[in-house]
Amino acid sequence: MHKLWAVIRREFGARVRTKSFVVTTALGPLLMAGLMLAPALMSMKESSGRHIVIVDGGDRGLGQTAQTTLRTKFPEQYTLEVVVLPTGETERLESLISQIDTPSEGTSATIDGVVVLDPAMLADDRIAYYGSNVSSMSDMSDLRRGLREALMAERLTELGVNLTLVQEASRPLSLTTERVTDGKLTGESGEASFVLGYAMAFLLYMALLLYGVQVMSAVVEEKTNRLNEVLVSSLSPFELLFGKIIGVGSAALVQLGLWVGTAMVLTTFRAEIASVFGVPEAAVMAVPIPTVSPELLIVSLLFFTLGFLLYSSAYAAVGAMCNTMQETQQASLPVTLMVIVGFFTVFNVLGDPTGSMARTFSLIPMFAPLIVPVRYSLNPLGLGELVASALITLLGAIVVAWIAGRIYRVGILAHGKRPKIKELINWVRAG
């Protein structure tokens, strides 16, 4: 135990003392704060207002209707101006277009775009728009919606329909979603659960890959620096392997713990943080942020630990087979692919957390570490299923760790060509 402890402490120290560990640990919370504030900051920028000129070529006051509709729908985004311009006065239209995006004397502000309501084109159900912001999806969709509504009102009036009646009948509907867990209301929107499930999957996926590869590089490092014989004369290969896995795993947990901790602080005090950056509180509160239950944390921690045991020992075995980091890139592909397959299955699971695919993949040791926490975040599994999944994953992790340990034992002292599958089997079987 004393020896194992010495190895764990060395590995942990070797990870935590690196610059990259300090930098990534610090960058995580910054990124989170950014993700939280950015949408709010961006919506603030957009409300600066675009100057749009509506050129009405007809005589039915369609320009006025369009202006009113757009103004009611988007009170802050647009500054609207109507110019009545009979068809054929192309010169004035051209001069208007030439003013787009160019500050000119006489006019108070730059024009961002020109909407042309030409009767001939309207007969064809077409409206032209010239602007500097045509690539803005949201602007174009706003315009399209506003203009269509104005046109619809115009046509309905023409047909003699009472507009007030129509407006009354077509009042918009909003569907509010709330997640129900075990028959209890959670007070959480559907959007927030999706965010949580996705965030969990991404974090676990990154952590398994990142720290698994760290174990692998630690193994290769000892090989390239010719340390193994020195170590193996005092330590059993199993002490060496598990010391490494536990050491790197603890560093991983420290980093993840710091991230989760800061995420919790950030979300709790997001209103205060927002006010520091001058972001309106309401805008930040509108970003859906899920709540994390203690049960979910425990399940995630358990499955991350099992997954880490499984993947890091597989990565360690790959490291033991190779002599350089370059060699590992190719040799580790099968292991990395497993993690990636698990990650992509998550998207299916997010759509149908209790479906047959979700259930099946929860019972496969390679994928359960990613799938089960995501499922749990969406819709907690029954205790029976959870225990079954945990046991199968544990069993799988032990089998993989055992095989990896035997490959590791031989591999760390072998130099030269990478072993073929047949030789690997001999390594595993060797007494």
Q: Give Cβ neighbours of residue 334 (< 8 Å, ≥ 6 apart).
A: none
- The reply on whether position 10 binds another protein by CB under 8 A is yes
DSSP code at position 184: E
Distance of alpha carbon 374 from alpha carbon 357, whole angstroms: 13
Stretch that binds another protein, among 4-12, 197-205, 251-259, 300-308 (CB under 8 A): 4-12
278 phi-psi bin (left φ>0, alpha ψ -120 to 50, beta other): left
Q: How many CA atoms lie within 13 A of 239 on its CB side?
A: 16
Binding another protein (rule: CB under 8 A), the pick from 43, 162, 234, 326 is 234
Stretch that binds another protein, among 251-259, 359-367, 398-406, 408-416 (CB under 8 A): 408-416
Binding another protein (rule: CB under 8 A), the pick from 124, 225, 383, 421 is 225
- Structure-token match 């075995």, residue found: 317
Binding another protein (rule: CB under 8 A), the pick from 27, 109, 166, 227 is 227
Say if strands 128-131 and 113-117 run parallel, antiparallel, or are unpaired: antiparallel
Distance of alpha carbon 288 from alpha carbon 34, whole angstroms: 14
Binding another protein (rule: CB under 8 A), the pick from 41, 83, 195, 232 is 232
Nearer Cβ to another protein, position 191 or 327? 327
Nearer Cβ to another protein, position 157 or 323? 323
Nearer Cβ to another protein, position 215 or 368? 215
Stretch that binds another protein, among 1-9, 187-195, 257-265, 349-357 (CB under 8 A): 1-9
Distance of alpha carbon 284 from alpha carbon 37, whole angstroms: 6
Distance of alpha carbon 282 from alpha carbon 269, whole angstroms: 13
Distance of alpha carbon 109 from alpha carbon 48, whole angstroms: 13
- The reply on whether position 230 binds another protein by CB under 8 A is yes
- The reply on whether position 431 binds another protein by CB under 8 A is yes
Stretch that binds another protein, among 8-16, 48-56, 193-201, 283-291 (CB under 8 A): 8-16
- The reply on whether position 19 binds another protein by CB under 8 A is no
Binding another protein (rule: CB under 8 A), the pick from 92, 144, 155, 415 is 415
Distance of alpha carbon 78 from alpha carbon 46, whole angstroms: 10
What does each C-alpha distance from 300 to 20, 116, 296, 297, 353 come to in angstroms?
25, 57, 6, 5, 16
Distance of alpha carbon 73 from alpha carbon 152, whole angstroms: 15
Stretch that binds another protein, among 37-45, 104-112, 329-337, 407-415 (CB under 8 A): 407-415
- The reply on whether position 7 binds another protein by CB under 8 A is yes
Residues that bind another protein (CB under 8 A): 2-3, 6-7, 10, 13-14, 18, 221-222, 225-236, 413-415, 431
